[in-house]
Amino acid sequence: MTAALRSDPTIVNVALGDRAYDIVIGRGLIASLGARIAALRPGARAAIVTDRTVAKHWLEPAQASLDAAGMSHFHIAVAEGEPSKSYRVFEDVCEALIGGRLERNDLVVALGGGVIGDLAGFAAAAVRRGVDYVQVPTSLLAQVDSSVGGKTAINSPLGKNLIGAFHQPVLVVADTGVLDTLSQRQFRAGYAEVAKYGLLGDAAFFEWLEANHGGVFAGGAARQHAIATSCRAKSAIVARDERETGDRALLNLGHTFGHALEAATGFSDRLFHGEGVAVGMVLAAELSAELGLIPAGDARRVAAHLAAVGLPTRLQDIAGFRQEGIGTADRLMALMAQDKKVKRGRMTFILLKALGHAFTSSDVAPEKVREFLARKMA
Ligand SMILES: NC(=O)c1ccc[n+]([C@@H]2O[C@H](COP(=O)([O-])OP(=O)(O)OC[C@H]3O[C@@H](n4cnc5c(N)ncnc54)[C@H](O)[C@@H]3O)[C@@H](O)[C@H]2O)c1
Ligand SMILES: [Zn+2]
């Protein structure tokens, strides 16, 4: 299958009043990008922000689509990877946007994974006190998570995503075919977030994934369905709680443990974000079982599904666990305590009261969690 083949797109609306926007999901959509943007903003110019890897595969098709719609455009390609979410690269992007004479009515087009979405989205929020932007997510993680909801950010040397803004895109165009050039490992990491939506709020979707994950990886209608269902889940939560004062925290299922594991492995290639989330979701399910919230069999079912797609599910599955280790339970506890989800000294955990029903809890005794982690490491 190639991205040239088209499917009928699925449209998910993010209901945010006068900042509402559509997420359009389907195979081959990049060819219609220019027409879709031109319909939204006749006469506007577009500044494409991308990374060099994505540019190799998808810049030319995006440019051709803008050309076909008669849109004038220029582009900025930064180095791929998390280090580009820095003050330095942010400055480069802003200067290139200003130097390219982007005006108030023009648009930024973020063509890439979550790094580009966060970086370009934040630049769009800042340049000229805010210009509109379109998300063209090219990783699975970006299509189901980071491109939806309007959180944009770069990293401070003191921590991830500490400098940023809420800035909603005016359109999201998710071409499911562009994921064909993504590495299997990156695709799997994004899949952890897809499974997350089932676990946190949609048991039927989780069950569907257990039966259809092969189709999601293969790239046909099942992939489109999984991405659309994920976007619907995220946009419903974002519409209820745009600025994360309540429900939006449920999206952090598996992330308290996951972030600590990412930090413990130095945010290196040993553990991608989604892989940390996979291990973290299994830990959250197992902790829920130990607290008597769900049957132990349900926790085993979570692990079995994530293992079936090739994701790590145990601390021992993390690359280099034997050689370099991941630190002690105390160290993981300290890292979790530093996580920004900590409120007034209490650690918040997202736990399960059923498969498909997550909730926030601030009253799990830290000693219980430390003892649980120590046992899991043994
Ligand atoms: N704003 C939010 O709500 C939110 C939510 C979750 C994650 N994030 C952020 O997202 C980032 C992670 O996103 P990511 O996993 O997409 O990382 P990424 O943007 O670094 O992309 C991963 C890698 O895949 C490559 N790539 C992307 N699309 C490709 C394609 N179609 N073909 C070939 N290669 C491709 C990229 O060049 C990169 O090397 C983190 O910085 C995280 O903080 C933000
Ligand atoms: Zn995540």
Alpha-carbon gap, residue 74 to 290, rounded angstroms = 55
Nearest atom in ligand 1 to the alpha carbon of residue 115 is 19
Q: Is 234 a catalytic residue?
A: yes
Pick the catalytic residue: 41, 160, 248, 300? Answer: 248
Q: Is 305 a catalytic residue?
A: no
User: Averaged over 171-192, what is the pLDDT?
Assistant: 98
Alpha-carbon gap, residue 170 to 189, rounded angstroms = 27
Alpha-carbon gap, residue 35 to 54, rounded angstroms = 21
Q: Is 193 a catalytic residue?
A: yes
Query: Best substitution site from 59, 141, 144, 237 to test ligand 1's pocket, by max atoms within 8 Å of Cβ?
Result: 141
Pick the catalytic residue: 259, 270, 305, 376? Answer: 259
Share of the chain above pLDDT 70, in %: 97
Strands (E), 4-97: 10-14, 21-26, 46-51, 73-78
Q: Is 52 a catalytic residue?
A: no
pLDDT tens-digit readout, 62-75: 999 999 999 999 99
What pLDDT, on a 0 to 100 scale, did the predictor assign at position 247? 83
3-state percent helix, strand, coil for the chain, nearest multiple of 5: 55, 20, 30
Q: Is 161 a catalytic residue?
A: no
What pLDDT, on a 0 to 100 scale, did the predictor assign at position 324? 87
Residue nearest ligand 1's atom 3 by CA: 146
Burial (CB count within 10 angstroms: exposed 0-12, middle 13-18, buried 19+), residue 291? middle
Burial (CB count within 10 angstroms: exposed 0-12, middle 13-18, buried 19+), residue 161? middle
| Residue 295 φ then ψ, to 5° | -65, 150
CA of 95 to the centre of ligand 2 (A): 30
User: Averaged over 174-198, what is the pLDDT?
Assistant: 98
Pick the catalytic residue: 207, 210, 244, 324? Answer: 244
Alpha-carbon gap, residue 140 to 339, rounded angstroms = 25
CA of 116 to the centre of ligand 1 (A): 7
User: Averaged over 106-119, what is the pLDDT?
Assistant: 98
Whether residue 2 is predicted with pLDDT greater than 70 in this model: the reply is: no
The CA-based angle 325-329-332, given to 5 degrees, is 85
Share of the chain above pLDDT 90, in %: 87
The predicted model scores a pTM of 0.96
Residue-averaged pLDDT of the chain: 94
Whether residue 3 is predicted with pLDDT greater than 80 in this model: the reply is: no
User: Averaged over 268-277, what is the pLDDT?
Assistant: 96
User: Averaged over 186-208, what is the pLDDT?
Assistant: 98
CA of 141 to the centre of ligand 2 (A): 8
What pLDDT, on a 0 to 100 scale, did the predictor assign at position 309? 98
pLDDT tens-digit readout, 340-357: 556 666 788 999 999 999
Whether residue 180 is predicted with pLDDT greater than 90 in this model: the reply is: yes
CA of 42 to the centre of ligand 2 (A): 35
